[in-house]
Chains A and B, each alone.
Chain A
Amino acid sequence: MEECLLEINHLKSYFFTRKGVSPAVDDVSLRVPRGKIVGIVGESGCGKSMTAKSVMDLLKYPGRIAGGTILLEGRDLTKLGSRERRKIRGEDISMIFQEPMTSLNPVVKVGKQVREAILVHQKVDRTEAKNRVLEVFRQVGISEPEKRYECYPHELSGGLRQRVMIAMAMVCKPKLLIADEPTTALDVTIEAQILKLIKELCKNSGMSCLLISHNLGVIAQMCDYVYVMYAGKIVEQGDVFTLFDHPAHPYTKGLLASIIRLDEQRERLSTIPGVVPNLMHLPKGCAFCNRCPESSARCETERPELYELREGHASRCFGSLESEASHE
């Protein structure tokens, strides 16, 4: 087994609202090996961003971590004080966000915003820090870095802003990069460039990456290992080839079936019927059973565990467990 950089065990991040507790992340365990890209995929509201924010300690009130551990190189982040957490943020783990348009402070020059990340963590003078920023700008493919350094966010295009965000994330050479839907707000050609850039940076620097996306195409192209989330839980996990070639959970199958393919003639786009259940009123059994084409009576009354089907491939479904057993 590869060396594990980030290990999340039984993480529970809940929203404690007046109307009740909403389990946005419920008993999630995942591992990010060193130097690998691990993906979390799922539809909006399934808890993927909450998982990332739990790692970064960026949960907003009334959300907070209610249980579980987050180990970075064996150190439990949930046990650290806020000062120590802050040291890790930006230096060991950094994050890029979905919306490059709103993720940069509109009234501060972008160069300064990136430089700030260095100045917080390292004892270097401003000129030295600026040179480092320019170097990273070149690395992430920002042309004319000196000129861009003096720009305000509104003077840059979406793609350039996301490159600035990546530069900000990379500038302290973190061990783990969390990319929360990094290309969702960008158009397709820019998306491809940004994804290629992230992949290259990971390869060249040995950095790990936790990539969050709702786009299976992006996941397939980028990741070594994939976790599929649904209603706050991981429903399937496996390496990228197994997952795409032999999906076990009906939800994963549904997601894969709803991808548009150019080499296929289809009358209608296939979709997963229904909507994600309200997290505060989850069904008694499997959370997916009311939308599942393969559900049985057992699914409605009993909650499935995450069953390991093969080494590294697991599915939270009675059906996939049974079909696996019948194969053997």
Chain B
Amino acid sequence: MAKNIGRRVLQTLLVLFCVSLAIFILLRIVPGDAITTMMGEHADAETIARLTAEMDLDKPFYVQFWTYLKDICTGNFGTSYTLHKPVTELLAAAFPNTVKLALIAAAIAWMIGILCGVVAAVTKDGILDRLFMGFSLFGVSIPVFMVAMVLQYLIAYRLGWVSISGVEKWTGFILPAVALGWNSAGSIARLTRSTLVEVLQEDYIDTAKAKGLGRPAVIFLHALRNAMLPVITMMALQISSLLSGAVITETIFSINGIGRLAVDAITSRDIPLLQGTVLFTTVIVILGNLVADCLYTVLDPRIRKGA
């Protein structure tokens, strides 16, 4: 177990190193430079030279990278060029909104997704199955911005039940969460259905029935636990992608989250901020995968004992 964890940590560090290197290189290849971004187009040559020296931009690439690595190891992600605040502070301010949005979206999506999947699987080829699967196809195939705008128009504008954008009140999270969870619900429903249908054909389901267990017990105690294994992996991947910033949703509903921060960083060529958001979301994705693996070992004893 300790060996596994050790290997895992090493892998994580390696991935983080590669990602930071890649983003560092990419940001120096793209046109536009930091000084112009900061000072605007009319900065004089002297100021540019002074700032370039001050910010070590005249040093060779590897020196810059080494300084950057040393800084992030001490938790210093630099200062945003455009917002003139430490990147760590900006991330810390944006993250709670993203977390709330992601968790609400995931809760809605998974509840609906699993429920639809289970109902569809047990009524396989029946009316409910077709209805739910048609609905979920709708779910996976409609893009987020479309759902978001339709919801904004119908629920917020026409019916006026919630505000169109902003999350000053908690109800502001409902529409973005539904829009964001829409796709996830569709794919969870489809995956739950297909794995459950497969599991229900297994011999041990016959054994459970032969024992005299009722249908709900067979489905929930025996079938679902086996069927959930791949679904949980998908959930962990979904949560990490939800947490790493719902770029479109956050923009449409003007929520100050990680996704919007990243978009702002890109449009204003705010290199430290962009580096910070990318690295941060990388960590989230890696952690999400780690959690998925851990859950897997809890649910499936065959992995736990290393068989």
Contact = CB atoms under 8 A, between A and B. Distances in A.
Interface of A: 56, 58, 86-91, 94-95, 97, 99, 102-109, 113, 116-117, 120-121, 152, 154-155, 165, 168
Interface stretch (B14-22, B200-208, B259-267, B274-282): B200-208
A111 to B, nearest CB: 13
A307 B210 CA distance: 35
B213 interface: yes
Given A86-B214, A102-B202, A102-B204, A152 B302 contact: yes
Contact of B204 (A56, A88, A106, A155): A106
B220 to A, nearest CB: 13
Nearest to A100: B203
A95 B214 CA distance: 16
B222 A105 contact: yes
B1 interface: no
Contacts of B301: 106-107, 109, 152, 154
Interface in B215-274: 217, 221-222, 225-226
Interface residues of B, number: 23
A273 to B, nearest CB: 33
B299 interface: yes
B305 A87 contact: no
Given A56-B209, A86-B212, A90-B212, 8 more contacts: A90-B210, A91-B212, A102-B202, A103-B203, A107-B300, A108-B222, A109-B301, A155-B305
A168 B302 contact: no
B211 A168 contact: yes
B226 to A, nearest CB: 6
| Majority-rule SS of B interface residues | helix
Nearest to B215: A82
B159 interface: no
Contacts of B207: 97, 103-105, 113, 165, 168
Contacts of A152: 301-302, 305
Interface string B72-99: 0000000000000000000000000000
Given A154-B307, A155-B305, A103 B204 contact: yes
A106 B212 contact: no
Interface in B153-171: none
A260 to B, nearest CB: 30
Nearest to A90: B212
B307 A58 contact: no
Contacts of A106: 204, 226, 300-302
Contact of B226 (A91, A105, A109): A105
A120 B302 contact: no
A105 B300 CA distance: 11
Contact of A89 (B211, B299, B305): B211
B210 A107 contact: no
A102 B203 contact: yes
25 contacts: A56-B209, A58-B206, A86-B212, A89-B209, A89-B210, A91-B212, A94-B210, A97-B206, A97-B207, A103-B203, A103-B204, A103-B206, A103-B207, A106-B302, A108-B225, A109-B301, A116-B221, A120-B217, A152-B302, A152-B305, A154-B301, A154-B305, A154-B307, A165-B207, A168-B207
Given A58-B206, A107-B225, A107-B300, A117 B307 contact: no
A113 B207 CA distance: 10
A154 B302 contact: yes
Nearest to B124: A61
Contacts of A91: 212
Which 7 interchain pairs have the tightest Cβ spacing? A90-B212, A102-B203, A89-B212, A152-B301, A90-B211, A105-B204, A117-B211
A91 B211 CA distance: 8
A119 to B, nearest CB: 10
A140 to B, nearest CB: 16
Nearest to A86: B212
Nearest to A118: B211
Contacts of A104: 204, 207
Given A89-B211, A90-B211, A117-B212, A97 B222 contact: no
Residue among B204, B212, B299 with the highest chain A CB neighbour number at 10 A: B212
A90 B207 CA distance: 10
Contacts of A121: 212
Contacts of A165: 207
A90 B209 CA distance: 9
A116 B210 contact: no
Contacts of B221: 116
A113 B209 CA distance: 12
B215 to A, nearest CB: 8
B307 A116 contact: no
A58 B302 CA distance: 28
Nearest to B301: A152
A104 B301 CA distance: 13
A132 B213 CA distance: 19
A42 to B, nearest CB: 20
Contacts of B213: 86, 90, 116, 120
A95 B221 CA distance: 20
Contacts of B210: 56, 58, 89-90, 94-95, 97
Contacts of A86: 212-214
